[in-house]
Structure 1
Amino acid sequence: MTRFSANLGFLWADLPLPDAIRAAHAAGFDAVECHWPYDHDPAAVRAALDETGLPMLGLNTLRGQPGENGLAALPDRRSEARVEIDRAIRYARAIGCGSVHVMAGFAQGREAEAAFLANLDYACTTAPDLTILIEPLNHYDAPGYFLQGSDQAAELIRRAGHGNLRMMFDCYHLQIMEGDLTRRLERHLPIIGHIQIASVPDRGTPDHGELDYRHIISHLKALGWSRPLGAEYRPVGPTDATLDWLVDEGLAIRY
């Protein structure tokens, strides 16, 4: 049976994070992940994870100032980027979270690339016990974001040379930017640390739109992928009213 992780940055976002974890468990999810949990006491988050038995798969470094989307590729913000990397690592360890997504930010060019690689080296060496993730984002939702393609991410991972650096493969973002997801998943699977799903183009539940997740999930099974897929979609209305895709065997998604 395919396993799914609830992204609590979008799902049950109206609840305090510990309560959102409990709601995800009650709904039948197999894991959880989040965006920026730092306003919540890590002890309370860890207690909710222990109570439900759900693993927390990942969290993000903070974006920076209003209007920013990460700091790690900004050449003049290296010290701030590392403060946020340290914060994310501490929080991840405190709650037993396995991955930290280091957000690149809005930047372009060689200096940005050098800054990003240096900060990724810092993150990977500071936290060899964690998986460090980088994620390409599409240029509609995040215009000007440094990392926009799977091949670009793969080349950065190759150049960084750390075994705990992986790609977060968000099917929503990469369908918009590149398409051809079947072959891209095949090519990059050895360096993929997490996969996320949502419909395209509306970023809704993964049971409609231009991507056939029945095919994607079947293909991933054939490739040997067995980890939870992250449901990172924007619910229209209360989250509990959007979960038919998760339980409806007729959709042939959860099998």
Structure 2
Amino acid sequence: MPRFAANLTMLFTEVPMLDRPGLAAQAGFDGVEVLFPYDHSSSDWLAALAGLPLALINTPPGDWLAGDRGFAAVPGEELRFRDSFLRGADLAARLGVDRLHVMAGVAKGVEAEQVFVENLGWAAAQAPDQRLVIEPINPDDMPGYFLNDFDQAARILDDLGLPQVQIQFDLWHAARIEGQAQAVWDRHKARVGHIQIAGFPARNEPGGGGFDLTGLCTEVDAMGYDGWIAGEYRPARATVHGLAWLQALKARAALIGA
């Protein structure tokens, strides 16, 4: 049965970060995800989560303000990648994180893809029990980011040949990259290990854009998908006043599981 997570970097921002897991649990989410949880200790996170599952975190990106977006596909930055990955994997292990998103970084070209594949293979060997995901991100939101195409991501995974590494399917980015997120999902759903949803064309509450979220719940259940469906969007108003989508999808999931 589908499980639903709140992205705490974007939702419940009315309160400090460590207060957000409690609000997410009260609102009916089954778990949470956090893009960059590194400003707080693992003990503080464990206390704040209070048993609530942590579905996903990203590897440390480096100096965000200076333009860093991770290092996994950046030639010449292999040591920085390894340091950042090990930090992310250590925190993921401490917090019981389901999926660790390996950020590719700003790069382009054949050499960058080769470095990406090699670094992903190294990372999988360092954390063999940790599920890893890579995420295509649209170039408008993140200019220069190496991984900006779902077909490219699929090719990289095929080259890598490790079931431990999968695609992070973000509905918003799929729609921005190709226009039709449904077509992207249909092509690559077998490779997906984590799902994020938002509204389209505005990145507000999930819905619209020609993507059937109710059908998605039915389909992932039939597929035996064991990941999460996470709300990663910008609330149009206070988060708690825009959760009709969650209630509808949880009701659908309950019918599926009945």
Mark yes or no: TM-score above 0.5: yes
Report what 2:57 is aligned to.
59
1:77 equivalent to 2:90? Answer no
- Find the aligned partners of 2:225 and 2:90 in 1 and give their Cα distance: 29
Counterpart residue identity of residue 57, structure 1: A
Counterpart residue identity of residue 173, structure 2: H
Q: Is the 8 A contact 1:33 1:56 kept in 2?
A: yes
Structure 2 counterpart SS, 1:195? strand
Is the deviation greater in 35-44 or in 179-188? 179-188
1:145 to partner: Cα distance: 1.3
1:2 to partner: Cα distance: 4.2
Q: Is the 8 A contact 1:78 1:119 kept in 2?
A: yes
**Alignment identity in percent?**
39
TM-score w.r.t. structure 2 length? 0.88
- Find the aligned partners of 1:99 and 1:141 in 2 and give their Cα distance: 22
Structure 2 counterpart SS, 1:57? strand
- Find the aligned partners of 1:206 and 1:184 in 2 and give their Cα distance: 17
Residues 130/107 of structure 1: CA separation in 2 closer, same or farther (3 Å cut): same
Report what 1:46 is aligned to.
46
Counterpart residue identity of residue 80, structure 1: R
Structure 1 counterpart SS, 2:54? coil
Superposed CA deviations along residues 40-85 of structure 1, whole A, max 9, x for unmatched, are 1111212333x2x321111001222222222211112211111110
Counterpart residue identity of residue 174, structure 2: L
Is the deviation greater in 129-138 or in 39-48? 39-48
1:218 to partner: Cα distance: 3.8
> How do 1:85-104 and structure 2 match up within 5 A?
85-104=85-104
The alignment of Structure 1 onto Structure 2 pairs a total of residues equal to 253
1:178 to partner: Cα distance: 2.0
Q: Is the 8 A contact 2:55 2:98 kept in 1?
A: yes
Report what 1:117 is aligned to.
117
Q: Which runs of 5+ in 1 are unaligned?
A: none
Residues 208/182 of structure 1: CA separation in 2 closer, same or farther (3 Å cut): closer
Report what 1:108 is aligned to.
108
Report what 1:169 is aligned to.
169
Give the superposed CA RMSD: 2.4
> How do 1:1-255 and structure 2 match up within 5 A?
2-49=2-49, 51=50, 53-65=51-63, 66=65, 67-225=67-225, 227-248=227-248
Structure 1 counterpart SS, 2:76? helix
TM-score w.r.t. structure 1 length? 0.89
1:14 to partner: Cα distance: 4.7
- Find the aligned partners of 1:231 and 1:163 in 2 and give their Cα distance: 25
- Find the aligned partners of 1:254 and 1:176 in 2 and give their Cα distance: 31
Counterpart residue identity of residue 60, structure 2: L
Structure 2 counterpart SS, 1:75? coil
Structure 2 counterpart SS, 1:33? strand
1:243 to partner: Cα distance: 1.7
Superposed CA deviations along residues 106-141 of structure 1, whole A, max 9, x for unmatched, are 111012112211211121110001011100001211
Structure 1 counterpart SS, 2:23? helix
Residues 13/76 of structure 1: CA separation in 2 closer, same or farther (3 Å cut): farther
- Find the aligned partners of 1:6 and 1:182 in 2 and give their Cα distance: 22
